[in-house]
Each structure stands twice: as C-alpha cells, then as structure tokens.
Structure 1
Amino acid sequence: MKIEDEIKQKKFLNAHQKAVINLLYTVNWLQGKHQHLFKSFNITPQQFNILRILKGQHPNSISATEIKSRMLDRNSDVSRLLDRLVSKNVIVRKACPTDKRASDVNLTDAGLELLRTIDKKQSELDNILSLSDEEALQLSNLLDKSRG
C-alpha cells in the first residue's frame, strides 16, 4: 500500500520528505511485526538482538559494553536486558577475570536451542518486505548510502 494511503496524506513538501516519512512509517511497521513474532517466544526484539550478537561470538564470551556497541537500538538498557535473559536461563553472566567492573556474557544451551527454534521462523522475517533478492540488496545499498 502506498504511504499516501497508509497515512491519508496526499501532499508532501518534496520527494525527500516523502521518502523519510515512508521510511519512518515502515520502520514502525517492521518493529510491530518483529514484536509480534518474538512475543510468541517470550522475548523482545532487543533481547533477540542480544542473543544474535552472542550467537555470532559463540562459544566465546563478550562483554556487556561490546554488546551495547553492536545493538541495533543503541538506547537499550543492556544491563536490564541481560538481567532478564539471565532470569530466562538463556545466557550466563560472569565477572570478567581481568576487569572486575565488566562482565563476560555467554549463551547457555537453552539460549542456543531458543535461537534454533526462532531460526525456523526466520524466513517469515526475511520475506516480510516482499522483495526479490535483487530489490532487497538494492534497498540495503540505498540505506547504506543514505547514512553516508
């Protein structure tokens, strides 16, 4: 559906304003789809982001500071998110032996299993935009370009 129809607005100052509004609207739409999917796994998109970061490091640990630097949502309260994931037994958090102020974080077997289960639904997320591979790559390149 066209952005004009979605927000019931036919006029924009220019093509750039329309693109920005369309992008913001689409981001919110995508976040809603992600929230709905992850709710069925009793996690939030931010928690999933942490689990994916940890999966990329597995079996090595990673610091909470490094996790924060890799988050898609840089405003997330990583410490609180880690506490919730610890309470769900999907990660472990240990004091760093070289820096007592830091903590090392690892996935548990339950965390790996949760990610395997979510991976079965990954194609739903990947295909949510209804784009061909070529279109998805073009969109990604345009987004990279727009950030400079």
Structure 2
Amino acid sequence: MNVEAIIKTEKEIPLRQRTLIHLNLVSNKVTEVTTNKLKPFDVSLQQFNVLRILRGQKGKAANLSTLNDRMVTKMSNTTRLVDKLITKGYVLRTACESNRRKVEIYITESGLDALLQMDKAMQSADETILEKFTNEDLIVLNKLFDKF
C-alpha cells in the first residue's frame, strides 16, 4: 500500500505523519473487507463482536458492562447493538432474578448457528487481509503493535 499514491501526493510525507496515515489506511481497509464479508448476514462488525463475546460466555449470562469491557471497539451504544440482535433472534435479554435492575444477556441457538456461518466468512476475510504476510511477518507486526 503506497501512501503517497493513495492520497495522490508527490510531496514527501514526514515519516511519523506517513506512519499514522498508513495505519489509518490499513485500519480502513481491514474494516472495509470485514464489513463486506458480514453484509450477507445483515450484521455489523460490532454486532458480530457482541455475538462472539456471548458465545465465549459458554451459556453464562453477560451484562452490558461485560460486553462494553470486552468490545474491540469501545462504544456507549451497546444497548442498541443488543436490541438489534434481539430483533434478529440471536440474543435474549432477561432481568436477573436476584437483582431486577440487572440485565442478563444470552446468545440463542439461532445466534450460535448464525455465528458459525459468520465465522467462515470472517476466516475468508482474514485470509484476504493477511494473504501477503508470512507467520514471521505477523509475529514481528504483533510485537510492534504491542508497543502501543
């Protein structure tokens, strides 16, 4: 990915600025590819993330705080994401028996089945995004990302 070509400049961009632009361009490309893979399921990347978190609960309830803490993209509209997943039949929300103010959220069988199909699509996205990288490249890249 040539930063200068993408932003259509012939001017040399200072290294630090070029790096940040490059990171933004890569992030946007990853989001574009993954979003397109999820489009047939009518699920956003954030909704997919919620479903994965709920699957990871292994049948135990999660609450909005748990979801917010574990989201890859931190956001304040987790309630709206859960509402949309409820409408699709992928998630159930119930009041906690011991504390009526606490909401418990579970993934449904339908949600688990749909998530298995989404997993296949996302694996395809991963392969597309990372096709030019060796395992050694990915190890180095992750070590560099760990510096953030």
TM-score where L is the length of structure 1: 0.90
Distance in 2 separating the partners of 1:98 and 1:16: 53
Q: CA deviation at 1:76?
A: 4.6
Which shifted more, 1-10 or 60-69?
A: 1-10
Partner of 2:101: 101
Report if aligned partners of 1:46, 1:76 keep a CA contact under 8 Å in 2.
Answer: no
Partner of 1:129: 130
Distance in 2 separating the partners of 1:76 and 1:12: 35
Q: CA deviation at 1:51?
A: 0.5
Aligned residue type for 1:132: T
Distance in 1 separating the partners of 2:37 and 2:76: 19
- Unaligned 5+ runs, structure 1: none
Partner of 2:140: 138
Distance in 1 separating the partners of 2:111 and 2:85: 9
Partner of 2:89: 89
Distance in 2 separating the partners of 1:82 and 1:60: 16
Which shifted more, 26-35 or 44-53?
A: 26-35
* SS of aligned partner of 1:120: helix
Partner of 1:79: 79
Partner of 1:38: 38
Report if aligned partners of 1:47, 1:81 keep a CA contact under 8 Å in 2.
Answer: yes
* SS of aligned partner of 1:59: coil
- Unaligned 5+ runs, structure 2: none
Q: CA deviation at 1:82?
A: 0.3
Distance in 2 separating the partners of 1:6 and 1:129: 20
Report if aligned partners of 1:59, 1:106 keep a CA contact under 8 Å in 2.
Answer: yes
Q: CA RMSD in A?
A: 1.4
* SS of aligned partner of 1:28: helix
Partner of 2:48: 48
| Higher-RCO chain (CA-CA 8 Å, sequence separation at least 6) | 2
Distance in 2 separating the partners of 1:9 and 1:141: 31
After TM superposition, the structure 1 = structure 2 runs for residues 107-126 of structure 1, keeping only pairs within 5 Å, are 107-126=107-126
Aligned residue type for 2:125: L
TM-score where L is the length of structure 2: 0.90
Provide the aligned length of Structure 1 versus Structure 2. Answer: 145
Aligned residue type for 2:73: D
